[in-house]
Amino acid sequence: MTKQTKRQLTDSHIALAHGNGGRYMRELIEKLFAYHLSNELLDTQSDAACLPVPSGTSEILMTTDGFTVEPLEFPGGNIGSLAVHGTVNDLAVSGATPLYLTLSAMIEEGLEVAVLDRVLESMAQACRESNVRVVAGDTKVLRRGQGGGIYFTTTGIGVKSPQLCLGLDQIQVGDVLLLSGSVGDHGTAVLLAREQFGLSGDLHSDSASVLPITQALTAISGLRFMRDPTRGGLATVAHEIAVATGNTVRLHETQIPVLDPVRAVCDMLGYDPMYLASEGRVLAVISPESAQAALERLHALGYAEASIIGSIESGVARVILATELGGERILAELEDDPLPRIC
């Protein structure tokens, strides 16, 4: 599908009629969704997409995710770019090269068309940067008060070499944990954008594709596992590792990068950056023999804050944080959601 000449919708806000399957819905799809997301594989007149997929030398990986964030737009991104980055990143940390996305949009009656336009423009830009294409989609309109402006559900398809074996079952005692950058940036940026506590700042979300990071790491022998620490943050991924392996994950607080604005907000409001979402970071588990080479590769790519932050030790399944004061504390598994509607 070639890119169309942009035409504005007649209405300035989304109405229920934009989801009724008739003329208004067709105009919404053609003038906004297809305008921003058009590519040679997206056919808005078809119920299914025909996709070329490499065969014989690759495994096909698929992931699905839902996105709901408040506010819809925040410093460093919006729900559109977030949906692309989140889906691309789930494939990337699994060792895949992302290729295709499908998109389901739940739009609340009364949403400003200008907001939807900006969100889709940001989504299209994120697709171009990650070299992925939206190939199919669906649109529904919810009654006013029954949604949060926009909900997105995406499915991502990618390909992976069958020789690349990553997973929690690959982790061994003595392996080290490598973090690609600072933690809690996204959660704190969204919190500040809500303006609930009279706080403001210039902190931006770290929402971004992690594909350059994962491609660099998969070229290193000894890579065991990768995960992006989104909801629940670094501490939650550490607990997943501990539970899956039955061993202790030891983290070193002095080695975990936390930006000053994030630390300041957490100190004032009682949050712990270990549990706040990041949307453009990778936590990798790698053999001790390969860890330094992996770290140097990330530094060479411009990820200056990348750091080796911990290790896997034999023992019971728990997460221990060695504090900057020289003591230790056990990081409990997350139960309450500190920041709902974050991604």
Q: For all residues of the chain together, what is the average pLDDT? A: 93
Give which of 300, 222, 294 is closest to 309, Cα–Cα. Answer: 294
Return the pLDDT at 310.
Answer: 98
User: How many angstroms separate the most distant Cα atoms in the chain?
Assistant: 66
Measured CA to CA, the distance from residue 263 to residue 188 in angstroms comes to 9
Whether a cis peptide bond, with omega within 30° of 0, leads into 229 is no
Separation CA 134–CA 155 (nearest Å): 10
Beta partners for residue 252, in sequence order? 322
Rounded to whole angstroms, the Cα distance separating 80 from 197 reads 26
Which pairs count as long-range contacts for 197-205, CB under 8 Å and 24+ apart, including other chains? Answer: 197/268, 197/269, 199/265, 199/268, 201/261, 201/265, 202/75, 202/261, 203/75, 203/259, 203/261, 203/262, 204/75, 204/76, 205/74, 205/75, 205/76, 205/77, 205/82, 205/279, 205/280
For the chain, domain boundaries: 16-160, 168-330
Q: Which fold has domain 168-330?
A: Phosphoribosyl-aminoimidazole Synthetase; Chain A, domain 2 (3.90.650)
pTM over 0.75: yes
The mean pLDDT of 105-116, rounded to a whole number, is 96
pLDDT at 51: 87
pLDDT tens for residues 151-192?
Answer: 999 999 999 999 999 999 999 999 999 999 999 999 999 999
Q: Are 70 and 148 in contact (CB under 8 A)?
A: yes
**The CATH number of the domain covering residues in 16-160:** 3.30.1330.10
**Which of 33-36's residues contact partners 24+ apart within 8 Å by CB, and which partners?**
33/103, 33/105, 33/120, 33/137, 33/139, 34/1, 34/4, 35/3, 35/4, 35/6, 35/120, 36/117, 36/120, 36/121, 36/123, 36/124
- Per-residue pLDDT reduced to its tens digit, 185-241: 999 999 999 877 677 778 999 999 999 999 999 999 999 999 999 999 999 999 999
Q: CATH topology of 16-160 equal to that of 168-330?
A: no
